[in-house]
Structure 1
């Protein structure tokens, strides 16, 4: 199949053209794209290995695991090439990729992973940034070079067989149908589990996390709870994912871990909106990454950047870096573009451009918490369109609590207690974010920034935005935040901007509703050096109020 060599030429050309086009902004501090290295892509021999020749049967019942894995092994052993999944429904257990193999799904090919948990052995792997025991992923590969999954087919993880489901996320008829299928319920009858083993695992804190002195077999009694990610590629170089649909994963859909030179193009990633931990793509501790022209519609974060969790992540010390994300659409998700919360190895040189978020809980979501450590810096975002965002359009939060970003009906949440602690290696940092050209039509809140008293979120530059939301801007424990030419259209106009213990804030050409009741609510004795310029304040009912020790001299209008 000579098309693979042609593809290689097209890929390189498109990347060079793209970088050349962006290079005109090389001197623009808010978009230094020329600093990114080109992403290397895999090259394959033209030889084709059809799984049918290895005994695969397209009948929707035969388990084709051995046939598919034998074809992959033979292909790799013979120098590589294309392993072909023809049109049809192919049921299989775990597929193990090999170097120099392009797993290619023809149009209307469905690779359907078995609902039989016995097909998946328990293995030592990684879960949410920690070393853990999980069921083997439906598709996996470790220490590979030149590997791809391409085509026009569908990869289906049959995740409904694995996932727990919250009652609040289903209609009454859906919930009754789920109960009739079997399974087990939590004590409060609000969460359904597919089996008693799954329910048992839910009661164990840190279930699956590898504990000293334990072996894989020690986790057998909670096996059903240890849901796998659909695709996990670990320590691989030159990876291409193109054209296929990844859907219905037991947990995360696509998880590249410690990979280099990763290209994701023209893929569709789908999970039910109620799918717990049903992320789209989680790029963890990877270097040189291109994600483009792809669509995500999932149950958790859409496009997410990670780098390990807490002490283990810091010890790994591998940031996710040199990432370009462009021309992607995210529908339902907890966040459109997300960093964290497992970002303990850090993240830097992240570029996001020309993306659309339709109905994501939060648009741009940056989350962490004490204990993570790690530094997220040099993040450049531009040309973002959002519509119907139930939560915040733009959020920075250092008090992440592993809860859904939008409270369920009737759920009450209290604000975290603010206590200043010593700065240690476990103190996370967010700094040097440049966000430009954002339009949002509908959100609960336009901008929310909440840092730690011992480590403010700092050096955030927001420019050229029109944000329509119920509430305006909230800045807590933030330093060196700049809003330039930002228009905030809100339903609640008291206040437009809420400030708590934040300093060195700049508002240049801030626009808001005519006849707003209150522009600034300044709170806390550590709120200082707030500068407002080129802003029309004539039609305001009230310019500012000062509470909880805030000094009127903190606010300066030019």
Structure 2
């Protein structure tokens, strides 16, 4: 554990440098705070205007709810922004509104309430049909919104602290009646920005956009103990046109987990995740993946573009998780420029992931996994290059790996590749892959494709906005 946190300190410095480009727009001009956002607002207020007290002890749930309710009247009049000044702002869950910005000062900390009564219980997601922790409903997220448009949650690296230890203990003791809350969840919404914030100690997943489109997640840091249960970093779920970039994540689960519903519920809902960009991710997660596709992928996952990925002491670089009964598909996946240090597996595809929402899944619903492209990979201190396991009678096809150099650990597995029920090609890969991935020769080293066209999310105009303090 000590080694991991030394790595955290070292890598925070790296990420601060890498994230400087997206954060440099923030500066103070006298009492005016300037920042970048997809929309600026005509009206402003501070949480203190609604009786907020940042002493870390007083509940501000009522203040946040009243502030956002009041500011919602400006939705059609240029929108509004709510400023959270320096302080420790204890609060339960609150809902966002449209044409709205929540801005956290660099010395502001939102502290999630430890009073369970402040967390409403809501129904399971329709594409899951089941809670993730229990069969019933789920506790609402700390920051929640549904059926919204034009929402910004940002800051100058202010902090949202989920104080998750209480929830982790209840989970391990199997005392939870409902699924644990997330730090932020936005549903059925469009034009969303979440940026320049630090998320700490989430009870479960950290950032969960679901059934939404046109989403920018940028310049955020996510930290949780590496042993904390299911503290996924960012989970784009049945979303279209999403960009995740300049993020640093230390967690107890996958750093980025791409999802689209669970078994028969996801198949029925039928809403894929597609047009997803992941850039400049740094991940530490000893028991999980830097990027996971699934396991809940029954609505489909397609056109994922990941590049410039650094992972340290992480179980796997990219993992595809699926199984019989999932249905759906994972296709047209493009990954390039991965720099990996101390891994169990670089590539991992699992066709036997057996977790199901309930017993009603269709055993004839087989997933389609095809068009998986990996290129320009360097890795060191790796136990095993790849574990690729398709499904008997349903092989994973169209796998392409090129220009990948994998340095094995001193105590690496004797057989660096295991491959069953897969098909594809390789070029310029060391150590030599299994026979299911024949080498096409050095002249084909650049053969694995990566799209050169822009997705619409890259063309979103970012504006310079301001808030006048005091």
1:409 corresponds to which residue? Answer: none
The answer to whether the aligner puts 1:157 opposite 2:175 as a matched pair is no
What's the secondary structure of 1:161's corresponding residue? helix
The aligned residue for residue 246 of structure 1 is 199
CA displacement 1:279-316 (0-9 Å, x = unmatched)? 11111000000000111111101111100000110111
**Greater CA deviation, 142-151 or 116-125?**
116-125
Asked if 2 retains the 8 angstrom alpha-carbon contact of 1:423 and 1:454, the reply is no
* Residue 507 of structure 1 pairs with residue 439 of structure 2: yes
For residues 257 and 423 of structure 1, the distance between their equivalents in structure 2, rounded to whole angstroms, comes to 26
Q: Provide, for residues 395-424 of structure 1, a one-character-per-residue CA deviation record: whole Å limited to 9, x for no partner.
A: 111112459xxxxxxxxxxxxxxxxxx993
Tell me, in whole angstroms, the C-alpha distance in 2 between the residues paired with 1:376 and 1:43: 33
> Which residue number in structure 2 is paired with residue 392 of structure 1?
345
Instruction: Say if 1:286 and 1:141 are closer, same or farther in 2 by CA, change over 3 A.
Output: same
So what's the TM-score if we normalise by structure 2? 0.79
1:45 and 2:44 matched: no
Rounded to whole Å, the distance in 2 between the matches of 1:284 and 1:337 is: 14
Q: State the match for 1:360 in structure 2.
A: 314
What is the CA distance between 1:509 and its match in structure 2?
4.4
How big is the shift at 1:124? Answer: 1.2
**Please, which of 208, 212, 222 is the counterpart of residue 255 of structure 1?**
208
Listed as ranges, the matches of 1:19-168 within 5 Å are: 42-79=38-75, 80-126=79-125, 129-132=128-131, 133-151=137-155, 152-164=157-169
In structure 1, the partner of 2:421 is 477
Offset, 1:192: 4.6
C-alpha contact (below 8 Å) 2:346/2:382 kept by paired residues: yes
- 3-state SS of paired residue (1:115): coil
Is the 2:127–2:268 contact (alpha carbons within 8 Å) kept by the matching residues of 1?
Answer: no
Does the aligned pair in 2 maintain the 1:258–1:285 contact within 8 Å? Answer: yes
Q: Distance in 1 between matches of 2:383 and 2:154?
A: 39
1:486–1:509 Cα contact (<8 Å) kept: no
Computing the radius of gyration from Cα coordinates, the structure with the larger value is 1
The corresponding residue for 1:459 is 398
Gaps of 5+ in 2: 1-20, 26-36, 132-136, 357-361, 443-470
Q: Which residue in 2 is equivalent to 1:550?
A: none
Residues of 1 paired with 2:329 and 2:387: CA distance? 19
Q: Measured at CA, do residues 98 and 57 of structure 1 come closer, stay the same or move farther in structure 2, by a change above 3 Å?
A: same
CA contact (8 A) 2:43 2:74 kept: no
SS at the partner of 2:314?
coil
**Which whole-Å deviations, capped at 9, do the CAs of 1:12-54 have from their partners, x for residues lacking one?**
xx9xxxxxxxxxxxxxxxxxxxxxxxxxx74231421100010
Equivalent-residue separation in structure 1 for 2:206 and 2:126 (angstroms): 13
Q: Which has the higher contact order (CA 8 A, sep 6+)?
A: 2
- Distance in 1, matches of 2:160 and 2:127, equals 22
Q: Secondary structure at the match of 1:283?
A: coil
2:457 aligned partner: none
Counterpart residue number, 2:16: none
| 1:134, distance to aligned residue in structure 2 (A) | 0.9
Normalising by structure 1, we get a TM-score of: 0.67
The two structures, once aligned, show a CA RMSD in angstroms of 2.2
For 1:423 and 1:140, locate their aligned partners in 2 and report how far apart those are by CA, in whole Å.
Answer: 35
Partners of 1:371 and 1:427 within 8 A in 2: yes
The CA distance in 2 between the partners of 1:436 and 1:497, in whole Å, is 14
CA distance in 1: counterparts of 2:254 and 2:210, whole angstroms: 17
| C-alpha separation in 2, matches of 1:42 and 1:76 | 18
Distance 1:87 1:368 in 2: 44
Distance, in Å, in 2 between the alignment partners of 1:238 and 1:126 is 21
Unaligned regions of 5+ residues in structure 1, if any?
1-9, 15-40, 165-182, 184-190, 202-221, 404-421, 489-495, 511-558
Contact 2:327/2:367 (8 A) holds in 1: yes
